[in-house]
Structure 1
């Protein structure tokens, strides 16, 4: 059976913020986004979130989901296995950019494993079931929620947006650099800049703002080494209000299951954001 012209071509879940993601073919969507997406996070001793911006080697730590366990692996270290429903631990205040939320400590043993792998003091926290982390009300409804993402439950990118960018780069890069949850095929590059409301399968999505990019896309997910691209090229081609943009943040309306191959329908379009 042929794919619809505009369709969902990839779904990626990132159980631990800033670690490697997991590509799946079908996945449930819950109140905070994809099930288990950014449900765990590493923080420092002050509760400040840690990411590849601070520790590029985080890109090399792999994740996998098997049954009711989250498996985490790093070269040269024994795998670490966590239950998907962690036992109760102390709750601490955690900081993600300007947002303060609550995180439940997983275990001292998990902290020691990550600290040894990254050669940096780390604490692993889990989003408690009772914790409600709202999305910025400037862009979202009062009922919109997210887990430990930077701010929105979903990041969406069109395949051909990367193709257009790669055509300008000295060497092509993979979509993994941008860490999207949803990848759409069958549309022109940067078509998503104009989308305001879409439907994927049976689920509705709002796209309230483009995603500004930090240094993470410059980190090679295969080596953990940073470089200058693609930010150098994005600074030349996708700069707006002193930031560079690639992909769109998204909010979901309703719960259900997404599947690779789902039809994507554009319900409402507007002016391109960013307008470049």
Structure 2
């Protein structure tokens, strides 16, 4: 039987841990123009391993220290609310901050940001 894969960070490596199900595709990586990055754009995203552990989204990549992002952050601070472009959609997202930005930019070798889909955003059409 094939395990169900979940992708807490869209375009990064999937995981088969059912604890990740509530977090499936809640995060994504965007470029400097706030456009979603895919593995076609940035093949190194496939090397970013993701897990959900002890209240954190944990990211690992070859040659890098791990990055832990708290899961229970309340997204009601408008100073971190942004808009990201996914295909033809513009959605509200929450910027995960400068440390996450530096980590993912270093990992990919290009300016990038880790963002979380805002809880009030409409359903995202990931196939665009």
Shorter-chain TM-score above 0.5: yes
Deviation at 1:27, TM superposition (A): 5.4
Q: Tell me the equivalent position of 2:108.
A: 118
- Note the 1:1-276 alignment, pairs <5 A: 9-24=2-17, 26=18, 34-88=21-75, 90-133=80-123, 149-150=126-127
Please identify the structure whose Cα radius of gyration is greater: 1
Partners of 2:93 and 2:123 lie apart in 1 by 11
**Any gaps of 5 or more consecutive residues in structure 2?**
none
Contact 1:87 1:106 in 2 (8 A): no
- Give 1:17 deviation, angstroms: 0.8
CA contact (8 A) 1:45 1:122 kept: yes
1:78 shift after superposition: 0.5
The superposition leaves residues 10-62 of structure 1 with CA deviations (integer Å, 9 ceiling, x where unpaired) of: 211101010001112x458xxxxx41011001111211101111110111110
SS at match of 2:5: strand
Higher share in helix: 2
Question: Please, what TM-score do these two structures have when normalized by structure 2?
Answer: 0.87
Higher relative strand content:
1
Specify whether residues 124 and 36 from structure 1 end up closer, same or farther in structure 2 by C-alpha distance, changes over 3 A only: same
Q: CA–CA distance in 1 between the matches of 2:89 and 2:65?
A: 34
Task: Return the TM-score normalized by structure 1.
Answer: 0.42
The alpha carbon displacement at 1:67 in A equals 2.1
Distance in 2 of aligned mates of 1:73 and 1:53: 20
CA RMSD of aligned residues (A): 1.9
